[in-house]
Amino acid sequence: MILILLPTSDYDPTESSVPWQAMRQAGIEVCFASPEGLPAYADSRLVDIGFGPLTPLLMTRKADLASYARMTEDPSFRKPLSYDEIDPSEFQGLLIPGGHAKGMRSLLESEQARRIALHFFTSDKPVAAVCHGVLLLARTLDPDFGLSVLQGHRTGGQHHGAASLGNYRRLARALLPNLSSNRRSGSHRRPVQPDGFPARSRHGGT
C-alpha cells in the first residue's frame, strides 16, 4: 500500500490525483494522511476560482480536474489518517505532492511528516515527491549524519508537458518491482528512472 501525505489544504490537484489514478489503475492500494486526520482539499485557485486574466495559462487541465474529482470520492480520501497515527512500517511507498499556497506549510514544516519520510529512506522504500513536495525531504535529516536524507541521491525532473497520466502510469510500473523488495544498495542509491523522465543531479535538479 502507498501512503499519500497531504497538507491541510492548498496542494496541487494534478500532482496528487494523476499519480493516485495511475496507481489505482496499476492495482496499487492507496491510503491518505493529513495533519489532523481530516479530508484535505486542493488549492481552490487551481480547482475552480482561477487566476483572473492568467487563468487560461495557469488553470488545471479539465482531464486532471476530473481525476481530482474522482480522488475526492475515494473512501480513503474521505477518511484519512492523521500524521501522528501513521505507522510508516505498514506502507510500501510514499507520495508527497506539491503546491504553492500557504496550506502546504502544514506538510512541509511538520515534524511528524519528517518522521514518516525518514522511515521510508532508512528502510529503502520507494519515495516520490513532486514539485514543492521535495522540500519535505530536503528538511528531513538523517540522524546518523546530520544531513538531509537527499544527500547522495538524485532527484528526477520533467518538463511541464511531460506531466501526463501516461507518464505517471509508466512511473507506477517502474515502482512496482520495488514494492516487493526493500533491499538496500548502499548510501549512494539511485532511483529507477523510466524513459522520458530525465534525471538531474541533486545539485541542479528540480
Distance CA 95, CA 180 (A): 17
CATH of the domain at 139: 3.40.50.880
Task: With respect to residue 206, please indicate whether it lies within any of the assigned structural domains.
Answer: no
Query: How much of the chain is helix, strand and coil, in % rounded to 5?
Result: 45, 15, 40
Dump the DSSP string for 116-142. HHHHHHHTT--EEE-GGGHHHHHTPEE
Please tell me the predicted confidence (pLDDT) of residue 151.
86
Task: With respect to residue 177, please indicate whether it lies within any of the assigned structural domains.
Answer: yes
Amino acid at 102: K
Task: With respect to residue 189, please indicate whether it lies within any of the assigned structural domains.
Answer: yes
- Residues constituting the chain: 206
Of 33 and 153, which is predicted with more confidence? Answer: 33
| Grid-cell match 511538520, residue found | 110
Please tell me the predicted confidence (pLDDT) of residue 58.
77
Task: With respect to residue 56, please indicate whether it lies within any of the assigned structural domains.
Answer: yes
Does an H or E element contain 30, and which? strand 30-34
**Statement: residue 165 has pLDDT above 60:** no
Supply the pTM of this predicted model: 0.76
Kindly report the average pLDDT of the chain as a whole number. 81
Tens digit of each residue's pLDDT (9 = 90 or more) over 93-125: 999 999 888 999 999 999 999 999 999 999 989
Task: With respect to residue 106, please indicate whether it lies within any of the assigned structural domains.
Answer: yes
* Contact of 201 with 154, CB cutoff 8 Å: yes
DSSP 27: T
Task: With respect to residue 205, please indicate whether it lies within any of the assigned structural domains.
Answer: no
All 3 cell numbers of residue 2? 502507498
Task: With respect to residue 166, please indicate whether it lies within any of the assigned structural domains.
Answer: yes
Cβ count within 10 A of residue 145: 11
Number of domains in the chain: 1
Q: For residue 87, give its domain range.
A: 2-200
Sign (positive or negative) of CA dihedral 201, 202, 205, 206 = positive
Please tell me the predicted confidence (pLDDT) of residue 164.
53
Task: With respect to residue 66, please indicate whether it lies within any of the assigned structural domains.
Answer: yes
Tens digit of each residue's pLDDT (9 = 90 or more) over 40-62: 999 998 998 888 888 887 788 89
Amino acid at 97: P
